[in-house]
Amino acid sequence: MQLRFEDFILDSSLRELRRLGVEVSLPPKVFDLLCHLVQHRDRVVTKDDLLATVWEGRFVSESTLGSHINAVRRALGDDGVQQRVVRTIARKGFRFVAEVATDQGRELIESPRYSALMMRNAEAGGLPSIGVRPFATEASDWFQNQVAEGVREELLVALTQEPMLHVVALGRGDEPANRNDGVDYLLTASVRGAGDRFRISVRLLDASSGRHLWAASFLSFREDLLGLEESVSSRVRAAVRGQLERAETERVRRKPDSALGAYDHFLIGQALMGRGGRADVDAAMSHFRVALTIDPEFGPSYGGLAWSHVLRKHGLWMDDIDRESAEGARIAELAVRMNDDDPTAVIRGSYALGHFGEDLGICAAYMDKALRADPRSALGWYLSGGQFLSAGRRDEAMRRIARAARANPNERESADIAILTTLAHLLDGRADAATANAETAFSLAPSNPRAFGLLAASNAQGGRRREAAHAMHLLLRHSPELRVGSVKSWIHLRHREDLEIFVDGLRSAGLPA
């Protein structure tokens, strides 16, 4: 017996969820949670009920339960605002509200209404795949087994938030069915304990060669379990994303140009954009445009192209600011409209929309939509903070920027977090705090003109004229054409008073009129 709702078929006996004939990969606990909600759709399912049945009485944190509910919604194209399929009943629990029909094994034959990124690339074999094995533990240690199961489940949920990664929950390596896993990458881990302490060790491997790509260990104590699952999964996800992007980019570079597809050009563009130089960003834009020529519906390339326009403006590299800003706004509009399954592209597009003049209320709505889909995105939280900072709402901006700092940002993201924090302190008149953060930004991004400018302005505000003059020298060496009158086309501050504070700091540091 199969259960059918909207475009989905759920077969609990085969443990399969299919959408329009394409299998939707779900971590085991997420699948169990979906089954329980569907099977008990005639009533509200309480949190205690879910813990007793899906987690078999094992303690899990509120954040773990929430992330699994969110994973169910994402798999079904739902979210916490629409609640079209899974509805939250305040102070009660959850209920599956979509209309369900039984289906005796019949496949849906209708054509899909749209071709989502994950479906199209999965069908074409264009997505990298990663298999996650059960964690190795001492079989007799009940506590270790509980920790291992909880962390693995949370990690599976976190990895499924990556829109261009096919995630597979594997069995143990010594099981005959899993010796040839058919995945590109393997994630293995172990839990070891002694007394009140235990260590989780995680390894990322190339499945075909067995080559180690990354490894890390996490030490914790029994009394520190609350939040451990989310902390480990968040850090591993960030590391896996970076390592896989590098490994996939190297794989693509070994392919002949004639064999490159939209996903391949997107990967090369990502790698070039990450270098941050003007020539690199220009080359990245070329690859994003080629990707869209090959596949005009490949949404992530719109996000990359929109972000490239932002980088050109931040870097003071635009030759025709009005024309290029208008083009950036057009691309950003496409990025937020065509990326329901890629939160990063929506985040980039949303920020670009605001940067090039769109109403910030609209931009914030798109940004919050992306953060509901991926609440662990450091990029989303600090760019969202940047939007609020531009709007003059500094308290909310600092809350979001601080949350980004707790979300395992990479070095480039850490530099941008320091830049935004500097700007917030500068606008509040806290010159010493602004200078300290500006120095951090400069150490992380010593070629970023925004770091030069903020270092000059904050030192000038604090009366450190020599340091301010030195930072201004670096800024003018990078952009000799910058003048007081052109600052407003470089730094995006919508309140005139805020812009004047920044301009006054640059003027005091020696920026020519």
What's the confidence (pLDDT) of residue 222? 65
Cβ contacts of 258 within 8 Å, gap of 6 or more: none
Helix 449-461, helix 431-444: angle, nearest 10:
160
Alpha-carbon gap, residue 420 to 401, rounded angstroms: 8
Tell me the pLDDT tens digit for each residue of 457-468: 999 999 999 999
> Residue 388 corresponds to which tokens in the numbers above?
């609020």
Write out pLDDT tens, residues 287-307: 999 999 998 888 889 999 999
Secondary element (H or E) of residue 167: strand 166-169
Q: According to the model, what pLDDT value does residue 175 have?
A: 46
The residue that leads in pLDDT, 224 or 327, is 327
Phi-psi map region of 96: left, alpha, beta (phi>0 left; psi -120 to 50 alpha): beta
Sign of CA dihedral 152, 157, 162, 164: positive
Map tokens 């094994």 to a residue. Answer: 105
Does residue 451 contact residue 415 with C-beta atoms inside 8 Å? yes
Handedness of CA 424, 426, 431, 434 (dihedral sign): positive
Distance CA 303, CA 234 (A): 23
* Residues, the chain: 513
Query: Per residue in 107-125, is it b (16+ CB within 10 Å) or e — as a string?
Result: eeeeeeeeebbbbbbbeee
C-alpha distances (whole Å) from 441 to each of 275, 437, 449 are: 17, 6, 11
Least confident of 45-59, 78-92, 106-120, 470-484: 106-120
Q: Tokens 């020539």 map to which residue?
A: 279
Residue bearing tokens 């199209």: 120
3-state helix, strand, coil in the chain (%, to 5): 55, 15, 30
- Residue 30 contacts by C-beta under 8 Å, 6 or more apart in sequence? 68, 71, 72, 75, 153, 156, 157, 160
Q: How far apart are alpha carbons 366 and 288 in whole angstroms?
A: 22
Other CB atoms within 10 A of residue 193 CB? 17
Q: Any idea what DSSP says for residue 255?
A: S
Supply the mean pLDDT for the chain.
Answer: 85
Residue 216's beta-bridge partner residues?
Answer: 202
230 has pLDDT over 80? no
- CB burial of 200-214 (b: ≥16 within 10 Å; e: otherwise) equals bbbebbebeeeeebb
With contact defined as beta carbons under 8 Å apart, do 253 and 268 qualify? Answer: yes
Identify the band that residue 233 occupies on the pLDDT scale cut at 50, 70 and 90.
confident
Q: Which of 237, 222, 476, 472 is nearest to 374 (CA)?
A: 237
Which range of 13-17, 256-260, 282-286, 333-337 scores highest in mean pLDDT? It is 282-286
Question: In whole angstroms, how far apart are CA 302 and each of 309, 333, 334?
Answer: 11, 9, 7
With beta carbons less than 8 A apart as the criterion, state whether 348 and 375 touch.
no
Confidence of residue 181 (pLDDT cuts 50, 70, 90): low
Contacts of 499 (CB under 8 A, 6+ apart): 487, 488, 491, 493
Give 107-154 as a DSSP string. PP-SPPSS--HHHHHHHHT-S-EEEEPPPB--TT-HHHHHHHHHHHHH
Q: Are 176 and 252 in contact (CB under 8 A)?
A: no
Q: What is the mean pLDDT of residues 369-382?
A: 88
Q: Which of 135-149, 182-196, 306-320, 380-394 has the lowest mean pLDDT?
A: 135-149
pLDDT reported for residue 183: 86
Q: Beta 166-169 vs 129-132: how paired, if at all?
A: parallel
Question: At which residue do the structure tokens 């909310």 appear?
Answer: 396
Low-confidence winner among 11-20, 117-126, 343-352 (lowest mean pLDDT):
117-126
Q: Is the pLDDT of residue 96 over 90?
A: yes
Residue 351 has pLDDT above 80, yes or no: yes
Average of per-residue pLDDT across 304-317: 93
The tokens for 223 are 């009394």
Q: Tens of pLDDT along 26-79?
A: 888 899 999 999 999 999 999 889 988 998 877 777 778 888 998 898 888 887
Q: Using an 8 Å Cβ cutoff, are 60 and 150 in contact?
A: yes
